[in-house]
């Protein structure tokens, strides 16, 4: 590896079996089409899925559970609703839940057949990404079969969407699945099918992105449910443009940017989040980021950056989750604290975490600000890693419950939205742990894992071993077929106590190691070099909001510690901060309540059926 690790050689160096598709991202043809768009190359890029391997731990387990669940789901069942509408033979059992064609009635509080086939594209996407990670031939073949099977049901007018309740919602997910099937699993029919579908969808979509207020003001023949999510379309349309080079995708993406009522005000610092639907409006932030990357639109970068700040400072719980009852509230009114007494639907977990990972990854790539990695890991450890796995019949984990006294539970309906985002997110753990720069590698998540790349005929890797966040030490083993100069950047979380210890081969590094930054270690790395990071994890208390200063969550490092109890316990604040680590496998701390009762304080990942309080009362 050359001593000077130029961007070009580094990017070329990461070439692997998937590099042919990846190269188009490095020097994209669409970026120089001379039609006024000035694309931006963010300073950080994701590694290909295949370059990162998760080692034993909860992230790997979730990825494998999701991969197996959808690999083993019968093709005929997945394709049934599309075949039924197309008048083709439609063997196989009904999927059940939201996925089927008939039976929906809001009045009967029955969501059976809510949005037929809505998650098909997400299951294809999750499988395509899983193939990119594992190279599993059975997975690749399944993606190809599903794309072919779906394409056989698609006519030039996409009549599946006649009288369909939420056309933009389901189209967006099909769009993502077909793009991923092409990009990661090389499904030959995927992009032609995508274009045929997209051209037909124009007849079913509004002329522009509609806010919910605009949708409510328009008469709709289906009065039972009139919300659709046209404002989330641009991200995948921009990706389709990048994949195909076809300008009609780019022009269509521009049309569905919700600039007038959302991104415009957000870019000016005007907080228009209140009362909007939470997940889909966070998902829309990623459309703003694609507008920045594809068109060079600074306004959209400002909108996304401001909106994310508003999300964190006015809508978020200590866990990193947001949007009780799937809605944003008005800042300054104590809505988060009030929600603890009024709802168990505190955070739409798989969907919310998926959207949160996407926007933090985009913002991290563009800004290199470690704060976005801190936010990502908060959501990782306190929400999604504690979600129960999707069951064979489609029974799914949906809401995290932060009520005064809460419990984990299954969602009422089978195959809900959250069964679509979960397999996508679990695959995305691979592209979230490390990022690559012109001059080296960013270590963003601390997790047992390996990242591998090639450069100039040399092969290199970093292997992380850690029990983080249950322990505070991270070890990284450097491997390389030859010595090479590059920089390893390590995220030093903002919560970490003073003087994090960072050493190479047992010797403390001389450069700055400041909480809230990436610490940079540049040297000529040799095979067998060892990097060690030791973070102090002081206990701290976070109030739920300014109006409820005595309702607090106990935190250690990135972890919220939930009080295991049948009713909300009360503590003396100083006593709570004296909680002692226990030696049990759950990672509990033990705190004495005001009644001098020892209470187990447990991470969400370690909670199963027991009742808990996310927030406890402070008596003094
Ligand atoms: Zn969901």
Task: Give tens-digit pLDDT for 118-130.
Answer: 999 999 999 999 9
Token couple for 331? 């800042």
Instruction: Report how far ligand 1's centroid is from the alpha carbon of 605 (Å).
Output: 19
Instruction: Report how far ligand 1's centroid is from the alpha carbon of 101 (Å).
Output: 19
Backbone angles phi, psi at 387, to 5 degrees: -75, 140
The pLDDT of residue 3 is 35
Q: Are 511 and 28 in contact (CB under 8 A)?
A: no
Residue 36, C-beta contacts closer than 8 angstroms, at least 6 positions apart: none
The pLDDT of residue 497 is 85
401, 543, 577, 609 from 615: Cα distances, Å: 11, 8, 14, 18
Burial per residue of 283-321, b for 16 or more beta-carbon CB atoms within 10 angstroms, e otherwise: bbbbbbbbbbbbbebebbbbbbbbbbebbeebbbbbbbb
Which of 231, 309, 254, 283 shows the shortest CA–CA distance to 417? 283
Instruction: Report how far ligand 1's centroid is from the alpha carbon of 380 (Å).
Output: 16
Instruction: Report how far ligand 1's centroid is from the alpha carbon of 496 (Å).
Output: 32
Q: Are strands 458-466 and 473-480 parallel, antiparallel or unpaired?
A: antiparallel
Instruction: Report how far ligand 1's centroid is from the alpha carbon of 218 (Å).
Output: 26
Q: Are strands 570-571 and 501-504 parallel, antiparallel or unpaired?
A: unpaired
The pLDDT of residue 110 is 64
Backbone angles phi, psi at 93, to 5 degrees: -70, 155
The pLDDT of residue 175 is 98
Least confident range from 214-228, 435-449, 458-472, 522-536: namely 214-228
Write down the pTM of the prediction. 0.94
Confidence of residue 417 (pLDDT cuts 50, 70, 90): very high
Instruction: Report how far ligand 1's centroid is from the alpha carbon of 72 (Å).
Output: 22
Residue 1 has pLDDT above 50, yes or no: no
Instruction: Report how far ligand 1's centroid is from the alpha carbon of 351 (Å).
Output: 4
Q: What's the rounded mean pLDDT across residues 35-45?
A: 83
Backbone angles phi, psi at 226, to 5 degrees: -115, 5
Instruction: Report how far ligand 1's centroid is from the alpha carbon of 401 (Å).
Output: 14
Question: Which is higher by pLDDT, 22 or 466?
Answer: 466
Instruction: Report how far ligand 1's centroid is from the alpha carbon of 78 (Å).
Output: 19
The pLDDT of residue 17 is 31
Beta strands in 78-185 (DSSP E): none
The pLDDT of residue 582 is 87
Residue 263 has pLDDT above 90, yes or no: yes
Confidence of residue 163 (pLDDT cuts 50, 70, 90): confident
The pLDDT of residue 222 is 56
Instruction: Report how far ligand 1's centroid is from the alpha carbon of 176 (Å).
Output: 16
Burial per residue of 41-70, b for 16 or more beta-carbon CB atoms within 10 angstroms, e otherwise: ebbbbbbbbbbbbbeeebbbebbbbbbebb
The pLDDT of residue 37 is 59
The pLDDT of residue 104 is 59
Instruction: Report how far ligand 1's centroid is from the alpha carbon of 21 (Å).
Output: 30
Q: What's the rounded mean pLDDT across residues 233-250?
A: 97
Residue 315 has pLDDT above 60, yes or no: yes
Instruction: Report how far ligand 1's centroid is from the alpha carbon of 36 (Å).
Output: 37
Instruction: Report how far ligand 1's centroid is from the alpha carbon of 82 (Å).
Output: 22
pLDDT, tens digit (0-9, with 9 covering 90-100), for 177-231: 999 999 999 999 999 999 999 999 999 999 999 998 888 888 665 555 568 999 9
């Amino acid at each position: 590896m050359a001593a000077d690790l130029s961007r070009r050689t580094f990017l070329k160096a990461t070439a692997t079996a998937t590099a042919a598709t990846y190269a188009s991202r490095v020097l994209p043809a669409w970026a120089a089409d001379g039609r006024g768009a000035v694309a931006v190359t963010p300073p950080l890029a994701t590694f290909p899925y295949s370059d990162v391997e998760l080692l034993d731990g909860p992230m790997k387990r979730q990825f494998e559970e999701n991969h197996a669940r959808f690999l083993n789901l019968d093709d005929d069942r997945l394709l049934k609703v599309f075949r039924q509408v197309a008048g083709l033979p439609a063997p196989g059992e009904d999927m059940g839940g939201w996925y089927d064609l008939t039976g929906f009635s809001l009045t009967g509080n029955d969501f059976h057949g809510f949005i037929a086939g809505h998650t098909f594209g997400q299951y294809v996407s999750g499988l395509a990404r899983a193939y990119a990670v594992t190279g599993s031939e059975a997975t690749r073949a399944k993606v190809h079969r599903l794309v072919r099977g779906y394409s056989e049901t698609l006519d030039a007018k996409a009549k599946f969407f006649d009288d369909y309740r939420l056309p933009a919602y389901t189209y967006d997910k099909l769009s993502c699945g077909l793009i991923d099937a092409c990009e990661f699993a090389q499904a030959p029919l995927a992009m032609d099918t995508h274009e045929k579908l997209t051209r037909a969808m124009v007849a079913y979509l509004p002329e522009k992105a509609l806010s919910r207020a605009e949708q409510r003001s328009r008469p709709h023949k289906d009065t039972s449910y009139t919300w659709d999510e046209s404002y989330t379309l641009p991200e995948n349309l921009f990706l389709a443009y990048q994949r195909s080079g076809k300008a009609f995708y780019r022009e269509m993406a521009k049309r569905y940017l919700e600039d007038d009522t959302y991104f415009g005000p957000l870019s000016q610092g005007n907080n228009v989040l209140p009362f909007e639907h939470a997940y889909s409006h966070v998902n829309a932030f990623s459309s703003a980021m694609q507008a920045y990357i594809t068109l060079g639109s600074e306004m959209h970068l400002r909108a996304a950056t401001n909106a994310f700040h508003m999300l964190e400072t006015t809508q978020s719980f200590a866990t990193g989750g947001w949007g009780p009852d799937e809605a944003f509230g008005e800042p300054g009114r104590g809505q988060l604290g009030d929600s603890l007494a009024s709802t168990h639907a505190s955070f739409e977990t798989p969907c919310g975490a998926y959207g949160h990972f996407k926007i933090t990854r985009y913002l991290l790539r563009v800004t290199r600000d470690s704060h976005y990695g801190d936010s990502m890991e908060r959501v990782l450890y306190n929400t999604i890693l504690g979600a129960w796995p999707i069951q064979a019949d489609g029974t799914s984990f949906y809401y995290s419950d932060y009520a005064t006294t809460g419990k984990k539970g299954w969602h009422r309906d089978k195959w809900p939205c959250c069964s679509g985002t979960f397999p996508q997110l679990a695959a995305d753990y691979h592209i979230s742990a490390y990022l690559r720069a012109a001059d080296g590698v960013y270590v963003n998540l601390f997790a047992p894992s390996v990242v591998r790349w090639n450069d100039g005929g040399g092969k290199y890797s970093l292997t992380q071993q850690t029990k983080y966040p249950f322990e505070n030490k991270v070890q990284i083993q450097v491997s390389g077929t030859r010595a090479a100069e590059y920089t390893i950047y390590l995220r030093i979380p903002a919560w970490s106590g003073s003087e994090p210890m960072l050493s190479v081969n047992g010797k403390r590094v001389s450069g700055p190691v400041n909480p809230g930054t990436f610490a940079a270690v540049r040297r000529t790395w040799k095979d067998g070099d060892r990097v060690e990071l030791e973070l102090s994890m002081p206990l701290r208390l976070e109030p739920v909001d300014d109006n409820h200063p005595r309702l607090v969550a106990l935190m250690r490092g990135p972890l919220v510690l939930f009080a295991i109890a049948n009713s909300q316990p009360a503590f003396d604040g100083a006593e709570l901060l004296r909680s002692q680590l226990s030696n049990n496998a759950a990672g509990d701390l033990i705190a004495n309540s005001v009644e001098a009762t020892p209470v187990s304080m447990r991470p969400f990942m370690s909670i199963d059926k027991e009742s808990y309080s996310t927030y406890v009362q402070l008596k003094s």
